[in-house]
Amino acid sequence: MMISEIIYRDELKNYDTDIHSIRDFKVTGITYDSRKVEKGNIFFAIKGMKEDGSSYIKDAISLGANLIFTDSENAKEFEVPVIKVSSIRKLMALISGIFYNNASSRIKLIGITGTNGKTTTACLTRFLLEEAGFKTGLIGTIGYKTGKRSSESKLTTPDSVEMNMMLDEMVSSGMEFCVMEVSSIALVMDRVYGLSFDTAVYTNLTSEHLDFHTNMVNYFKAKKILFDDLEENKFAVSNSDDEYGRKIIKDSKAGKFYYSINSASDLRASNEKLSLSGLEFDIEWNGKTYRLKSNLAGRFNIYNILASVSTALRYEIDMEQIQRSLLNFQEVDGRYNRVMLPNGAIAVIDYSHTSDSLKKAIETSREIVNEERKNGRIVTVFGCGGNRDRTKRPVMGEYATELSDHVIITSDNPRSEDPMEIINEIITGIKSKNAYDVIVNREEAIKKGIEISRKGDIVLICGKGHETYQEVNGVRTHFDDKEMVRKYSVNAK
């Protein structure tokens, strides 16, 4: 594609006129990472939170970049055009969309946003579509699946260049749908700017990422972008039980559909039954009652199922087909994964790393042990990540000790922080007299949790879920909660 085929498109008409004086050349690629520049590339020198991309313009040119866009005031003149623009991330998203053939308009794109439940909802939605015969890609926390390749994810929602490239791969692979987790940070940083979403789904909103958003008002506004940008012929699905559930899609021009357990909605669950082996509940649809059954455990998963079913119904998938598919869907890696211990206790590995998700994981465990009637206890093992939202740490300490029978506070991914300082911040929120231990070494903490368990107990290991590493002082070493459970399950006597 020639640069002239890009810069004269209607999508770019609001940008500086300087953009139209560029000498024509063949664009071979787009990147914002100077290390990945190849001859004929466009390089976006973006001023980030830690580094100014303009510092790498010279490197990019030496590797063959033919055009540079920058948002920095410090950019110098070079032998290739260096153009200062405003809203550089928006421009990068638009140019990426053009370069990759506006792939989002050639595939039905489903975006799922919220604090908790995005990954399970995304994976289940994809499963329901595939079971109904639709080839479907996935972009989310646990990986990217484009048809041509599957890869681990570095970001829940990748930057616009990778995003448009993967969508183009999906289209060329014959995929009809893409299900994508959309983070609040991605929305604010224009990673999904210009994409044409066919359906947007809202799960819930609770305190998280306040180190980035500062307050809940900004966090809410970030999530709302996804719904405000939907066109009239599109579809918005929302959780009407959540305090933000109606407000977040109020201004959307799209068609609106609500799901719930407690409040009135278009798809409402009733007669719920929860157990260690799974869950089931009734829904009313088109004048008939259907009993939905799933291997997933926990009340929070009823919401995830309702969100996915609501989306499947949007694409006219038959309810009987949905019932059958649900029975075949297995738990998502790191999302309330249950492991039976030799002593009759259950170890549960869960990604819950926000205050609300931790609370719900413990409450779900309590509901299950009460249903089992074996006098089971909840033993919770958890920590908090370093260099992230610190406001949630004391709240998580309070929830864990108030709701569990025993708590072991440990290290998560401390990153560059002192693990003990993180733990001390967690402890400031503890008001309960319920027992808790502090064991900084995560392996030892998991071992202890298993050792003190007995028949009927749930040992809830929270925070890392699917992750297979622990990051300390910027260095990642292999660490897998599931492997630790298997290693020390022999200690459960």
CATH number of the domain within which 142 lies: 3.40.1190.10
How many domains, the chain? 3
Residue 209 pLDDT = 63
Q: What are the start-end ranges of the H helices in 35-142? A: 57-62, 88-99, 118-131
Contacts of 105 by beta carbon, 8 Å cutoff, 6+ apart: 196
144 with 273, same domain: the answer is yes
Residue 120 has pLDDT above 90, yes or no: yes
354 with 279, same domain: the answer is no
**Section 74-81 average pLDDT:** 78
Residue 40 pLDDT = 96
251 with 343, same domain: the answer is no
475 with 374, same domain: the answer is yes
65 with 109, same domain: the answer is no
Residue 391 CA from chain centroid, whole number: 20
Residue 488 has pLDDT above 90, yes or no: yes
**Section 248-261 average pLDDT:** 97
pLDDT in tens, 389-422: 899 999 999 999 999 999 999 999 999 999 999 9
Residue 129 has pLDDT above 60, yes or no: yes
Would you tell me how many other CB atoms lie within 10 Å of the CB of residue 205?
25
Q: First-to-last CA distance in the chain?
A: 66
Q: Which residues pair with 68 in a beta bridge?
A: 43, 82
Contact 372, 188 (CB under 8 A): no
Q: Which of 354, 323, 317, 331 is nearest to 199 (CA)?
A: 317
Burial 371-388 (b: 16+ CB within 10 A, else e): eeeeebbbbbbbbbbbeb
Residue 18 pLDDT = 59
Q: Is the four-CA dihedral 199, 465, 141, 440 of positive or negative sign?
A: positive
Residue 270 pLDDT = 97
Residue 17 pLDDT = 47
* Cα(277)–Cα(296) distance, integer angstroms: 8
Query: In the listed set 66, 97, 128, which residue is the last one of a domain according to the structure?
Result: 97
* Cα(145)–Cα(269) distance, integer angstroms: 31
Which residues constitute the domain of residue 450?
Answer: 337-491
Residue 208 pLDDT = 67
pLDDT in tens, 14-36: 765 456 668 889 999 999 999 99
Q: Which residues pair with 415 in a beta bridge?
A: 472
**Section 28-48 average pLDDT:** 94
Give, in order, the Cα–Cα distances in Å from 492 to each of 121, 380, 454, 480: 33, 15, 7, 19
177 with 192, same domain: the answer is yes
Q: What is the largest CA-CA distance in the chain?
A: 76
* Coil, helix or strand at residue 84: strand
Q: Model's pTM, two decimal places?
A: 0.89
299-314 and 319-328 helices, crossing angle to 10°: 140
Query: In the listed set 61, 82, 97, which residue is the last one of a domain according to the structure?
Result: 97
Would you tell me how many other CB atoms lie within 10 Å of the CB of residue 418?
12
Token duo for residue 41 = 């590339």
* Cα(209)–Cα(221) distance, integer angstroms: 13
Q: Which residue has the higher pLDDT, 305 or 87?
A: 305
Contacts of 250 by beta carbon, 8 Å cutoff, 6+ apart: none
**Section 172-193 average pLDDT:** 95
Residue 211 pLDDT = 66
244: pLDDT confidence band, cut at 50, 70 and 90? very high
Q: Which residue has the higher pLDDT, 367 or 260?
A: 260
pLDDT above 70 covers a percentage of the chain that reads: 96
157 with 293, same domain: the answer is yes
139 with 161, same domain: the answer is yes
Contact 234, 198 (CB under 8 A): yes
Residue 103 pLDDT = 96
Residue 368 has pLDDT above 60, yes or no: yes
465 with 433, same domain: the answer is yes
207: pLDDT confidence band, cut at 50, 70 and 90? low
Would you tell me how many other CB atoms lie within 10 Å of the CB of residue 262?
10
* Cα(353)–Cα(377) distance, integer angstroms: 21
Q: Which helix (H) or strand (E) holds 319?
A: helix 319-328
Residue 240 pLDDT = 98
pLDDT in tens, 277-296: 899 999 999 999 999 999 99
- Tell me the residue ranges of DSSP E strands in 221-334: 235-239, 255-260, 267-275, 278-285, 288-294
Residue 149 pLDDT = 85
Query: In the listed set 328, 348, 379, which residue is the last one of a domain according to the structure?
Result: 328
Q: What is the DSSP string of 171-235?
A: HHTT--EEEEE--HHHHHTTTTTT--EEEEEE----S--HHHHSSHHHHHHHHHHHHHT--TTSE
Residue 142 pLDDT = 85
Give, in order, the Cα–Cα distances in Å from 466 to each of 111, 241, 463: 21, 28, 9
**Section 465-474 average pLDDT:** 91
88 with 108, same domain: the answer is no
**Section 122-141 average pLDDT:** 97
* Cα(389)–Cα(384) distance, integer angstroms: 9
Contact 469, 336 (CB under 8 A): no
Chain mean pLDDT for the chain? 92
Q: Which of 138, 135, 126, 128 is nearest to 327 (CA)?
A: 128
Q: What is the CATH number of the domain that holds 18?
A: 3.40.1390.10
The single-letter DSSP state of residue 359 is H
Residue 88 has pLDDT above 90, yes or no: yes
Residue 138 pLDDT = 97
321 with 366, same domain: the answer is no
Contacts of 77 by beta carbon, 8 Å cutoff, 6+ apart: none
58 with 130, same domain: the answer is no
Residue 364 CA from chain centroid, whole number: 21
Residue 152 pLDDT = 81
